[in-house]
Amino acid sequence: MKARIIPIVRTVRATLPPGRDLVAPPEGALVDLRGRRVRDLRISVTDRCNFRCVYCMPKEVFGDDYAFLPRSKLLSFEEIVRVARVFVDQGVEKIRITGGEPLLRKHIENLIEQLAKLPVELTLTTNGSLLRKKARALKDAGLHRVTVSLDGIDDAAFKRMNDVDYAVGDVLDGIEAAAEVGLAPIKINCVVKRGSNDDQILPLARHFRHSRHILRFIEYMDVGSSNGWCMDEVLPSADVVARIGQEFPLEAIDANYPGEVAERWRYTDGGGEVGVISSVTQAFCSSCTRIRLSTEGQLYTCLFAQSGHDLRALLRHGNGDEALRREIAAVWRGRDDRYSEIRTAATSLPGGKIEMSYIGG
Ligand code: SAM
Ligand code: SF4
Ligand code: SF4
Whole-angstrom distance, CA of residue 289 vs CA of residue 287? 6
d(CA 243, CA 11): 35
Instruction: Say if residue 20's pLDDT is above 70.
Output: no
The DSSP 8-state label assigned to residue 269 in this structure reads T
Mean pLDDT, rounded, for 183-187: 97
pLDDT at 7: 28
Burial of 351 (0-12, 13-18, 19+ CB in 10 A): exposed
Cα-Cα-Cα-Cα torsion 302, 21, 269, 175, nearest 10 degrees, comes to: 30
Q: Are 185 and 214 in contact (CB under 8 A)?
A: yes
**Ligand 2 lined by 51 (C-beta under 6 Å):** yes
- Could you give the CA distance from residue 111 to residue 120 in angstroms, rounded to a whole number? 14
161 CA to centre of ligand 2 in angstroms:
10
Task: Measure 148 CA to ligand 1 centroid, in angstroms.
Answer: 10
Q: What angle is formed at CA 40 by the lines to CA 184 and CA 275, rounded to 5 degrees?
A: 50
Q: For position 43, what pLDDT does the model report?
A: 98
Report how far ligand 3's centroid is from the alpha carbon of 43 (Å).
16
Q: Which ligand is nearest to the CA of 221?
A: 1
| pLDDT over 50 at 87, yes or no | yes
Question: Residue 250 belongs to what H/E stretch?
Answer: strand 250-253
The percent of residues in the chain predicted with pLDDT above 70, rounded, is: 90
pLDDT at 181 over 60: yes
Ligand 3 centroid, distance to 336 Cα (angstroms): 10
* pLDDT at 306 (0 to 100): 85
From atom 4 of ligand 3, which residue's Cα is the shortest distance away? 285
Distance from Cα 112 to the centre of ligand 2, integer Å: 20
Among residues 95, 152, 92, 94, the alpha carbon closest in space to that of 128 is found at: 152
For a pocket test of ligand 1, which of 44, 101, 191 has the largest count of ligand atoms closer than 8 A to its C-beta? 191
Q: Which is the closest atom of ligand 1 to the Cα of 222?
A: 23
Q: Write phi, then psi, for 189 (nearest 5 degrees).
A: -105, 130
Q: Which of 52, 54, 57, 129 is the best mutation target for the ligand 2 pocket, counting ligand atoms within 8 Å of the beta carbon and taking the most?
A: 57
The pTM of this model reads 0.91
Query: Ligand 1 mean position to 119 CA, how many Å?
Result: 26
CB 224 within 8 A of CB 355: yes
Residue list, ligand 1 pocket, CB within 6 Å: 49, 55-56, 98-99, 101, 125-127, 149, 189, 191, 218, 220-221, 223, 227, 356-357, 361
How many angstroms separate the Cα of 222 from the Cα of each of 38, 225, 237?
24, 8, 16
With CA atoms as reference, report the closest residue to 152 among 136, 137, 172, 173: 172
How many other CB atoms are there within 10 angstroms of residue 85's CB atom? 18
Question: For ligand 2, what atom is nearest to the CA of residue 56?
Answer: 3
Q: Are 131 and 146 in contact (CB under 8 A)?
A: yes
Q: Give the other-Cβ count within 10 Å of 255's Cβ.
A: 16
> Residues 44, 50, 52, 53: what is their CA dihedral angle, to the nearest 10 degrees?
-60
Task: Count the helices and strands in the chain (H runs, E runs).
Answer: 11, 12
Ligand 2 centroid to residue 226 C-alpha, Å: 13
3 state SS of 172: helix
Q: What pLDDT score was predicted for residue 260?
A: 86
The mean predicted confidence, pLDDT, of the chain is: 90
The rounded radius of gyration (Å) of the Cα atoms in the chain is 20
- Which ligand 1 atom is nearest residue 147's CA? 5
Which pLDDT score, from 0 to 100, does residue 18 have?
34
Pick from 285, 286, 353 the residue to mutate for probing ligand 3's pocket: most ligand atoms within 8 Å of its CB: 285
Instruction: Output the ligand 3 site: residues, CB below 6 A.
Output: 284-285, 288, 290, 302-304, 337-340
51 alpha carbon, closest ligand: 2
Omega of the bond prior to 185 within 30 degrees of 0, cis?
Answer: yes
CA atoms of 150 and 84, how far apart (whole Å): 28
Cα 53 to averaged position of ligand 1 atoms, centre (Å): 8
Q: In what order do the strands lie in the sheet with 214-219?
A: 250-253, 263-267, 273-277, 214-219, 187-192, 145-149, 121-126, 94-98, 40-44, 290-293, 298-300, 309-310
Q: How far is CA 82 from the centre of its chain?
A: 21
- Inter-residue contact 138 to 111 (CB < 8 Å): no
Is the distance from CB of 298 to CB of 309 less than 8 angstroms? yes
Nearest residue (CA) to ligand 1, atom 23: 221
| 40 has pLDDT over 70 | yes
> Into which CATH architecture does domain 8-359 fall?
Alpha-Beta Barrel (3.20)
For residue 149, name the pLDDT band (cuts at 50, 70, 90): very high
Structure confidence at residue 25 (pLDDT)? 62
CA proximity to 294, closest of 47, 93, 86: 47
Ligand nearest to the CA of 302: 3
